[in-house]
Amino acid sequence: MKFSNISFLFFKKLFCLKLFKMFFKILEEKEIQIIIHHWTRILNIKLGWINNFDKIVVDYAINFFIFDIFRSSSKLLKTFTGHKYCVNSIDYLTFDDDQFICSGSNDETVRVWDINSSKQIRSFNGHSDPVHYVKFSPYHYYNHHQNVICSSSTDKTIRFWDFKYNQQLQIFNQHTDGVYGIEFSSFNGGRYLCSGSYDKTIRLWDVETSKSLHVFNGHEDG
């Protein structure tokens, strides 16, 4: 099956004809993931899985939508509204049986939402430029049982926010241009963080000590 020619219009027609859910029922889970990833890449929409495979969170424009697209209902479950400009990134966390979403936006804020109540519970305004990426910190979660979000921004910084106590914990500011992507290590309890920047470098950080461990050069463009 070729997915390169699948368009949004095709999916829209399937959905309107109530064939969308029937189409997915005959596919294997792996094939569904491939289609969804391709579809969202075309539309420039990011998604993240929440709890069950059949629930996805899509961030688009200035609202969040949680869709239940693989069940018979195929309905919108929740909408999170509050950002003033487009949402660039979201992440999901279960903490002490509570479910949270964090979001980063061009309105320069990092926000935290309670999934069960659909309410915003925190807003951090420390960045001075658009926030490109947000991730819940596995290092703080597994090592200190803290609710911490890591965010990267065009303001050249990476910041850590404790959303339980509503404060900034750390700031990494050695990039010389905007920071786009961030990713925690899957080993050592997420102690290490890598970041990609428009300054054409990738940096490796020690979250525990807040030190930059290594700079990878070689990219010719940001």
Q: Could you tell me the pLDDT band of residue 67, with boundaries at 50, 70 and 90?
A: low
Q: The CATH number of 87-216 is which of 3.40.470.10, 2.130.10.10, 3.30.930.10, 3.30.950.10?
A: 2.130.10.10
Measure the CA angle with vertex 115, ends 113 and 116; round to 5°.
Answer: 130
Beta-strand relationship, 148-153 and 158-162: antiparallel
Distance, CA of 1 to CA of 4 (rounded, Å):
9
Between 118 and 52, the higher pLDDT residue: 118
Residues 6+ positions from 64 with CB-CB distance below 8 Å: 57, 58, 78, 79, 80, 81, 87, 90, 101, 103, 113
Spell out the residues 6+ positions from residue 159 whose beta carbon is closer than 8 angstroms to its own: 110, 124, 126, 127, 150, 151, 153, 168, 170, 171, 172
Say what the pLDDT of residue 66 is. 64
**3-class SS at 141?**
helix
Mean pLDDT across the chain, nearest whole number?
78
CA separation for the pair 113, 103 (Å, rounded): 8
pLDDT over 90 at 140, yes or no: yes
Please give the pLDDT value at position 14.
Answer: 42
* 32/55 Cα distance (integer angstroms): 13
* pLDDT tens digit sequence for 84-105: 999 999 998 887 788 999 999 9
CA distance 91 to 47: 9
How much is the average pLDDT of 40-54? Answer: 50
161-197 pLDDT per residue, tens:
999 899 999 999 999 999 999 999 999 999 999 999 9
Distance of CA 168 to the CA centre of its chain: 19
- Burial of 124-140, coded b for 16+ CB within 10 Å and e otherwise, reads bebbeebbbbbbbbbbb
Check pLDDT > 90 for residue 49. no
The pLDDT, as a whole number, for residue 110 is: 97
Euclidean distance between CA atoms 63 and 78, whole angstroms? 10
What's the mean pLDDT in 140-161?
95
pLDDT tops 60 at residue 7: no
Confidence label for 18 from pLDDT (cuts 50, 70 and 90): very low
